[in-house]
A = this chain, B = another copy of it.
């Protein structure tokens, strides 16, 4: 079985039908499919339809509750605390971000924390929801442990990503979406699927030594007894700022996990002692209205100017282009809408399995 190129609408349709078979409500199935396929369209295959398996196994084991809906526990004009009731991460993610946006429109800023959630997929999706209203959007989430604290032997924090979307006048906006580890686990997975060795300085094994074997990292991380892990952004020790990546991961866990009443640190896990459990993942959402500070055209014009100056500044040796964040992804989005979404062999095999298991056609052109 080989990789294959899919039309994005077929992938969306397939994913939505699988979610409906898993008892998701139609609007929720749409959200999940849209979140995953948008990630594939932007070239972030690590957070695309390959993540379906997390949701299938979560629902089948009873630890994602498909029709659970998020509830507002407490709110004021700018803040809200949301409980996701163990539903799909995309459902509470979109609900919570909409709430932050509504508050930002009314009061200039909205901050929402969300507990008892699950994997919410492609983080920038929520940050980018703010763009439709000319707002700045930020989201963070904690995630299962994989990150080594500086001078530590075993993973204690998640890849804990930070995503931010900022409106600007160009056809693509400025969109950052980054794990606070050197690389996310999905990148290690990718090396494993391709049978490639990891570069030095990404990850350690169960003895604390650098490892180049992606399978060893993947094998050591899930479940209760986590060994080794991935270095924080900045790498091992303090020489290149590894303590900063560790600090950013903590910042994300404080805002997403601790402040929301979710699990935090090593407790953020779909597994405990080899058993599934409610992951109780925590998220953080923020929207800010730049038009409080200046006319929106002035704001986007200032950002456009900075971006143009970055684009036009002198290139490093043997480099031809300076990118800004979200630019590669916006170009890939346009390309893949036209030319299709290529998926690797392992992902296609997984989708074919679900096609048989759930009796949902997978359209292979």
A: residues with CB less than 8 A from B are 74, 76-79, 81, 107-109, 111, 113, 136, 148-154, 156, 162, 164, 166, 174, 176, 178-179, 182-183, 199, 201-202, 204, 208-209, 233-236, 239-241, 243-248, 250-251, 253-254, 258-261, 264-266, 288, 290, 292-294, 299, 302-303, 306, 309-310, 313-317, 319, 321-325
Give the Cβ gap from A114 to chain B, nearest Cβ, in Å: 11
Report the Cα distance A265→B240, complex, angstroms.
23
Q: Is the CB of A313 within 8 A of B260?
A: no
Indicate if the CB atoms of B79 and A264 lie closer than 8 Å: no
Instruction: Please tell me if the beta carbons of B149 and A250 are within 8 angstroms of each other in the complex.
Output: no
Question: B156 touching A310 by the CB < 8 A rule?
Answer: yes
Q: Are B174 and A78 touching (Cβ within 8 A)? A: no
A74 to B154 alpha-carbon distance, docked (Å): 48
* A317 engages B149 (CB within 8 Å): no
Chain B residues contacting A154 (CB-CB under 8 Å) are 313-314
B153 touching A314, Cβ below 8 Å: yes
- CB closest chain-B residue, reference A325: B247
CB-contact partner of A182 in B152, B240, B325, under 8 A: B240
Is the CB–CB distance between B233 and A310 below 8 Å? no
| Complex Cα spacing A261 to B246, Å | 32
- Whether B264 lies near A306 (C-beta < 8 A) is yes
A61 CB, nearest partner CB in chain B, Å: 26
Answer whether A250 and B178 are a contact pair too, CB < 8 Å, given A153-B314, A322-B149: no
A250:B176 contact, CB within 8 angstroms? yes
Are the CB atoms of A302 and B264 closer together than 8 Å? yes
Given known A107-B76, A113-B293, contact A208–B309 (CB-CB < 8 A): no
Instruction: For the complex of A and B, list the 9 residue pairs with the smallest distance between their C-beta atoms, beginning with the closest.
Output: A151-B319, A153-B314, A176-B247, A178-B244, A79-B108, A78-B78, A265-B306, A208-B317, A258-B302
Known contacts A258-B302, A310-B156, A315-B151: A79-B250 contact under CB 8 Å: no
Closest residue of chain B to A183 (Cβ to Cβ) is: B241
**Complex: A257 Cα to B233 Cα, angstroms:** 25
B258 touches A306 (CB 8 A): yes
Min C-beta distance of A331 to chain B, whole Å: 15
Which residues in B have their C-beta under 8 angstroms from that of A243? 178, 323, 325
How many angstroms between the C-alpha atoms of A303 and B251 in the bound complex? 11
In the complex, which of the residues A74, A78, A153, A264 has the most CB atoms of chain B within 10 Å of its own CB atom? A78
Cβ B149 vs Cβ A259 within 8 A = no
Closest to A265 in B: B306
Whether the pair A292, B81 counts as a contact (CB closer than 8 A) is yes
Q: Is B299 a contact of A258 with CB atoms below 8 Å?
A: yes
A259 touches B178 (CB 8 A): no
With A233-B233, A251-B164, A265-B309 already in contact, the answer to whether A315 and B153 are too (CB < 8 A) is yes
In the assembled complex, the CB of A248 is this many whole angstroms from the nearest CB of chain B, namely 8
Which residues of B are found within 8 Å of A244, using beta-carbon distances?
A: 178-179, 233
